Structure 1
């Protein structure tokens, strides 16, 4: 407790936390924290960049509260614009063995389709498929 409390100080009736680089971060209560998140996220400089980026912006503005990272992630998940403009994680499809390509043949008259997973796209694989 003594080590943790050494990182905090009171100046002019306000509580501050000393960051690792020595900068004083103003500690906020939950109401102030919500207001700061909204202003930084939706303000003139807000660009819907996501929770981690929002948390870093708040720290650069010299604000702190214990659940900053968690609250910033939750706030950005509720933002409709953030969800619309966020990156879509690209998960590779599950493969059967080492087969990562699909050979497809469409019969011209009946429009029947045949598909088979192949490991390589080369003449031997295609001939085996046909």
Structure 2
């Protein structure tokens, strides 16, 4: 019915299986046909083709539904030792593990989770709820995010962040992402080559300069100018600083004098 009380006939023809009960609508059309003769043209749509209708009836042919039904697969686990089971049991039924330490852990962790429509979600302060997936499903999520249609070979930390932004979560997501990247051949080929030498690293014995010295008395050497035939040498282990003094004779007084002179400007080891 238009604004000026004019009658406009308009019909829809579906070329796809509909979920409505045809018998119920056929009965409604027959009942309306008896009350109003103008509905006769529209009622033929249930039993005839729209080409047999009058030209005054406008028919729109719909080849596909306006809303596509998507079958959502619930990510559940058949493993009774699933990490989600204790949290779900506590949030739904209030049951805690018999172990007091494990019960305290479950109680403290439960504040971060929420049950919605029978599934466990992780609360996120900067985004929507995150779907908690089982441990055996985690490798499939890693593979899809890393190598799927919109995947990209990225580092472990970026992969964990991308999984979180995709709406998934499990406790060991960072650890699993690191292990997955290490096993990925493409990530290893395209990654940065290590710059460390292949030889074993030498540990640092001295943590700071002049903290540890090495002292040695060398001789007997060919006689030098002034008659010196010996030398006392000290080396700092940290920066390899060398102090050397020639000696004519190896007496304790000469060694004490050398150590006192060296300690005055380098400090005591």
Class of the TM-score when normalised by the shorter of the 2 chains? 0.5 to 0.7
Matching residue of 1:23:
128
- Confirm or deny that 1:35 pairs with 2:156: no
Q: Which of 138, 147, 150 matches 1:45?
A: 150
Which one is further off, 11-20 or 64-73? 11-20
Query: Could you tell me the TM-score, scaled by structure 2's length?
Result: 0.33
Q: CA deviation at 1:62?
A: 1.0
What is the 5 A alignment of 1:1-130? 1=104, 2-21=107-126, 23-91=128-196
Q: What's the secondary structure of 1:30's corresponding residue?
A: coil
Partner residue, 1:118? none
Deviation at 1:22, TM superposition (A): 5.0
Higher strand share: 1
Shift of 1:64: 0.2
In 2: Cα distance, 1:5 partner to 1:18 partner: 10
**Stretches of structure 1 lacking an aligned partner (at least 5 in a row):** 99-130
CA deviations 1:62-82 (Å, max 9, x no partner) are: 100000000000011000000
Runs of 4+ in 1 over 4 A off after TM superposition: none
Aligned-pair CA distance for 1:31? 2.2
Task: Give the number of the structure whose alpha-carbon radius of gyration is greater.
Answer: 2
Gaps of 5+ in 2: 1-103, 203-238, 241-269
| 3-state secondary structure, aligned to 1:6 | helix
**What TM-score results when the alignment is normalised by the length of structure 1?**
0.64
Offset, 1:34: 1.2
Checking the alignment, whether the CA contact within 8 Å between 1:40 and 1:46 is kept in structure 2 is yes
Q: CA RMSD in A?
A: 2.4
